[in-house]
Copies of this chain bind each other. A is one copy, B any other.
Amino acid sequence: MSVSPSGDSPRILLCNDDGIHAPGIRSLATALDGVGELFVVAPTTEQSAVGHAITVRDPVRAHSIEFEVPSGPVPAWGVTGTPADSVKLACHQLLDAPPDLVVSGINQGPNTAVNVLYSGTVSAATEASILGLDAIAVSLCDWSAPQFEAAGRWARRIATWALGHGLPPGVLLNVNVPARPHEEIEGVALTRQARSRWEEGFDRRTDPADRPYYWLAGTFVNLDNGQKTDLSAIERGYVSVTPIQHDMTAYDAFDSLADGDWDVSFQDDATPEA
């Protein structure tokens, strides 16, 4: 068992976006059994593709849920909200003290490339990072009949590493595990998000009253032939670990935008108005 700086067992909060009853979060908890003191706070129902949505116009509720790992029961709550709501409510209301680490997953399906922005799994970890906590999102690149054993072993290894080393401020780890048996995984790679997009893709249908409706449908396209992307790592059988930050400022764009056409008279040290 890892040991937190205080000498106590580290506190690990688990979340996901597939819902607290999904097999992925059960596998994650089993995989982390013994690494620390576990807590589970996750949406009651599936919340895939909610991105970083939070609930601001309605109240949320939390219900105690039975949740077992091999060593015994784990305190667990289902939340009638989004993954980001769940992390907020856990840290501010349900847990007695903040966790040392938040692990979100194991998602059923990859969260690579542009899909990071749509992912509720990643947003739970991002929310934790905003709150100043170390956080990891774990996804298994398999939509159908997933076997979580390898992803669980990597989640345990990376979580243990993060507890021991800590993460850079404002940075979380987005982990994607290829869909293959543990012994066939080639290793682990630090990667960047591949440039990509969905080529959509709405399926237009009409209802029985002849009114149109649209199903989102599309084909994922990798636009990135560069090196060390999350997609290329997965394709080659490596676990992909992408450091993610929640500061979305495009610092590299400053020079090209500040080309003299702007009326940039702003001086940050100017005397504030009375």
**Stretch of A6-14, A29-37, A99-107, A164-172 on the interface side:** A164-172
| Among candidates B118, B187, B247, residue contacting A266 with C-beta atoms closer than 8 Å | B187
A55 pairs with B216, CB closer than 8 A: yes
A97 at the interface (CB under 8 A from B): no
B263 pairs with A253, CB closer than 8 A: no
CB distance from A123 to the nearest CB of B (A): 7
| Among candidates B46, B55, B161, B211, residue contacting A61 with C-beta atoms closer than 8 Å | B211
Size category, A interface: 35 or more
CB distance from A96 to the nearest CB of B (A): 15
Q: How many copies does the complex hold?
A: 2
A57, A254, A257 interface centre (most CB from chain B within 10 Å) = A257
The interface bits of chain A over 191-224 (1 if a CB of B lies within 8 angstroms of the residue's CB, else 0) are 0110101001110110000011111100000000
Q: Which residue of B lies closest to A126 (CB)?
A: B117
A53, A55, A60, A170 interface centre (most CB from chain B within 10 Å) = A53
A49 at the interface (CB under 8 A from B): yes
Residues of B within 8 A of A193 (CB): 247-249
A48 pairs with B52, CB closer than 8 A: no
A256 pairs with B52, CB closer than 8 A: no
Residues of B within 8 A of A46 (CB): 57
| Among candidates B54, B197, B205, B253, residue contacting A49 with C-beta atoms closer than 8 Å | B54
Distance A251 CA – B213 CA, assembled complex (angstroms): 41
A249 pairs with B192, CB closer than 8 A: yes
Q: List 26 A-B contacts (CB under 8 A).
A: A49-B53, A49-B56, A51-B51, A51-B123, A52-B117, A52-B118, A54-B118, A56-B216, A59-B205, A59-B214, A59-B215, A61-B211, A93-B214, A117-B246, A167-B257, A170-B250, A171-B250, A171-B253, A188-B264, A190-B264, A193-B249, A236-B266, A244-B250, A245-B248, A245-B249, A245-B250
